[in-house]
């Protein structure tokens, strides 16, 4: 396990992420973050140089990053600078000043290289399933557009339209006047037409890509929408969806507000209120040109891409596609490793759970592949609460999963997985339980009700945690389900497993209105366990 930090020196902000890299999986856990809004590119429009005050703010922010990194015992810092530094006439002077004062080396990267690393960052957090995705990252000085399907990127571009740059160059009125707004809109559209056209040339006529948005400007726009729709600002925006119609409605509202009024909007910060309108226009024009009517957020971007790139260069990721192909499974296994889960036991229980799911699908339930995967993930992680305490470990499992940073899932899916683990033992879900109340609709509650009952049976089948049961087969008639079980050892009567099934089956019987009978046989009929 190595601890490294990745720093992104941007036009608007300086971001750092500190991670522990596990080369065996391979994966990394984020253990700390640091962010400072320094506006490094502020005031450079007229002179073409970074302003001395902005340089001082940036150096102070980088010093804080070093202090955080030292506290985390970071072994290596990887730092990159983007549009503000690469365009400034005194950009190299700034780089030398940082190295002289702090001993920190910063690599200035090109626009396409920035786009490539953003792609790697997104790939570490979202599963593409070999389908085309467009990624947009709106920074302070530039906007990156990427097209890829999980393999090598098809298109990478970086355009000099950014939220800080456009605000300085095109917005002088408050609220923005109609003439300034229309001029801003026309300029953005003109700047983005070519990179969008180039990207679209790499799509076949029948391909409709998914649009993914990353970084602060887009996260802020979606946060404003989420706060308004939900009535409260969410803790995580990963997987949140915004439609183009809702975005244009938000822009219409922002146009009418002055700076002080924008600051009072739920989810808005003072620094973001200055540049949010320009950022929203960039996003709206891009979506219009791409003919895409919705965007989904991803919380991973350039700084995580810096980590992935470093891992690849260190030989920790020999096969890039192996890393990019199974984000969710890798994230679950990474969390299991982090909380010292006994994987041989967890995988046995996951196999039992998936077998029960598959053999009752269509007769007792009609859930699909996503719910099947949630059950698998919960089965792998159900005992992670032992990391804190054996007592009430199912409750600890809920909180560890809920706040464990699982990747590749929406917030709702993480909530379902955490709830399934919460109810792998003890009684059925209850409306008074706070975690159960976090499930936002009836369908999610039904998933937890039914699949937690299945998970209870799977746990019972490995009561001694020695693999006493080798396989199972479900036989279902009108009101009875019979579990035909085959023991791993012919002389093992599996009495404890059969007793545990009797104790745990009440929730299953009540949920599905079926009587459950378990029978131990010398051999079990096909089909046996199905792979997860």
pLDDT confidence of residue 84: 94
Q: Could you tell me what percent of the chain has a pLDDT over 70? A: 96
Which two structure tokens, joined as six digits, stand for 341?
Answer: 């889960």
Instruction: Over range 217-234, report the average pLDDT.
Output: 87
Which two structure tokens, joined as six digits, stand for 460?
Answer: 């019972």
How distant is the alpha carbon of residue 297 from its chain centre?
Answer: 8
Instruction: Over range 144-165, report the average pLDDT.
Output: 93
How distant is the alpha carbon of residue 34 from its chain centre?
Answer: 18
For residue 480, the cross-strand partners are 515
Please answer whether residues 68 and 32 qualify as being in contact, where contact means their C-beta atoms are separated by less than 8 angstroms. Answer: yes
- What pLDDT band is residue 522 in, cutting at 50, 70 and 90? low
pLDDT in tens, 20-30: 998 877 789 99
pLDDT confidence of residue 318: 60
pLDDT confidence of residue 390: 87
Nearest to 279 by CA among 397, 475, 181, 138: 138
pLDDT in tens, 309-360: 888 888 787 655 444 446 678 889 989 999 999 999 999 999 999 999 999 9
**Does pLDDT of 441 surpass 70?**
yes
Residues in Cβ contact with 204 at an 8 Å cutoff, skipping those fewer than 6 apart: none
Please answer whether residues 481 and 514 qualify as being in contact, where contact means their C-beta atoms are separated by less than 8 angstroms. Answer: yes
In angstroms, rounded to a whole number, what is the distance separating the alpha carbons of residues 236 and 219?
10
**Does pLDDT of 438 surpass 90?**
no
Lowest mean pLDDT among 10-19, 23-32, 447-456: 23-32
pLDDT confidence of residue 324: 47
Helix (H) or strand (E) holding 16: strand 13-22
Q: Which residue has better confidence, 438 or 377?
A: 377
In angstroms, rounded to a whole number, what is the distance separating the alpha carbons of residues 434 and 261?
35
Lowest mean pLDDT among 195-199, 231-235, 413-417: 231-235
**Does pLDDT of 440 surpass 80?**
no
Instruction: Over range 241-269, report the average pLDDT.
Output: 95
**Does pLDDT of 474 surpass 80?**
yes
In angstroms, rounded to a whole number, what is the distance separating the alpha carbons of residues 162 and 480?
63
pLDDT confidence of residue 319: 57
**Does pLDDT of 530 surpass 60?**
no
In angstroms, rounded to a whole number, what is the distance separating the alpha carbons of residues 298 and 121?
9
Q: Which residue has better confidence, 382 or 230?
A: 382
Q: Which residue has better confidence, 45 or 221?
A: 221
Q: Residue 120's CB: how many other CB atoms inside 10 A?
A: 26
- What pLDDT band is residue 149 in, cutting at 50, 70 and 90? very high
Instruction: Over range 375-403, report the average pLDDT.
Output: 93
Mean pLDDT, the chain, as a whole number? 90
Please answer whether residues 140 and 169 qualify as being in contact, where contact means their C-beta atoms are separated by less than 8 angstroms. Answer: no
How distant is the alpha carbon of residue 70 from its chain centre?
Answer: 27
């Amino acid at each position: 396990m190595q601890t490294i930090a990745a720093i992104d020196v941007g036009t608007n902000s300086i971001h750092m992420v500190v991670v522990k890299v596990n080369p065996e999986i391979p994966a990394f856990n984020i253990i700390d973050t640091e962010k400072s809004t320094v506006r490094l590119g502020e005031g450079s429009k007229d002179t073409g140089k970074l302003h001395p005050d902005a340089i001082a703010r940036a150096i102070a922010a980088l010093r804080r990053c070093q202090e955080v990194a030292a506290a985390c015992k970071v072994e290596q810092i990887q730092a990159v600078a983007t549009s503000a530094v690469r365009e400034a006439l005194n950009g190299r002077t700034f780089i030398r000043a940082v190295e002289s004062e702090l001993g920190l080396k910063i690599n200035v990267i090109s626009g396409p290289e920035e786009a490539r690393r953003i792609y790697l960052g997104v790939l570490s957090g979202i599963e593409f399933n070999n389908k085309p995705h467009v990624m947009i990252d709106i920074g302070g000085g530039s906007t990156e557009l990427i097209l890829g399907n999980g393999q090598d990127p098809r298109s990478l571009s970086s355009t000099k339209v950014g939220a800080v740059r456009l605000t300085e160059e095109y917005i002088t009125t408050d609220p923005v006047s109609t003439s300034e707004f229309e001029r801003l809109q026309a300029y953005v559209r003109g700047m983005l037409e070519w990179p969008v056209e180039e990207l679209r040339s790499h799509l076949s006529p029948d391909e409709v890509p998914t649009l993914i948005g990353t970084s602060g400007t887009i996260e802020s726009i979606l946060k404003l929408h989420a706060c308004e729709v939900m009535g409260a600002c969410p803790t995580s925006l990963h997987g949140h969806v915004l439609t183009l119609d809702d975005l244009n409605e938000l822009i219409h509202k922002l146009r009418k507000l002055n700076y002080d009024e924008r600051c009072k909007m739920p989810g808005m910060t003072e620094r973001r209120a200055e540049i949010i309108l320009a950022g929203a226009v960039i996003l709206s024009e891009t979506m219009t040109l791409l003919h895409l009517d919705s965007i989904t957020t991803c919380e991973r971007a350039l700084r995580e891409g810096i980590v992935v790139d470093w891992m690849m260069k260190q030989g920790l990721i020999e096969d890039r596609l192996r890393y990019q192909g199974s984000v969710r499974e890798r994230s679950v296994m990474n969390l299991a490793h982090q909380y010292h889960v006994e994987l041989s036991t967890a995988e046995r229980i996951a196999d039992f759970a998936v077998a029960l799911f598959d053999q009752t699908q269509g007769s007792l339930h009609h859930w699909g592949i996503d719910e099947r995967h949630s059950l698998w993930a919960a089965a792998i992680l159900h005992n992670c609460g032992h990391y804190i305490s054996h007592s009430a470990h199912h409750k600890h499992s809920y909180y560890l999963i809920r706040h464990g940073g699982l990747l590749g899932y929406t917030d709702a899916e993480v909530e379902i997985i955490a709830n399934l683990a919460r109810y792998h033992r003890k009684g059925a879900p209850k409306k008074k339980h706070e975690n159960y109340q976090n499930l936002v609709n009836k369908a999610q509650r039904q998933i937890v009700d039914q699949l937690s009952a299945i998970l209870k049976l799977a746990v019972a089948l490995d009561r001694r945690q020695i693999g006493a049961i080798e396989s199972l087969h479900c036989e279902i008639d009108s009101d009875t389900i019979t579990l035909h079980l085959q023991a791993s050892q012919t002389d093992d009567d599996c009495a404890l497993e059969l007793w545990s099934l009797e104790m745990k089956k009440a929730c299953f019987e009540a949920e599905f209105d079926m009587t459950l009978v378990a029978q131990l046989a010398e051999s079990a009929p096909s089909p046996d366990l199905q792979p997860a």
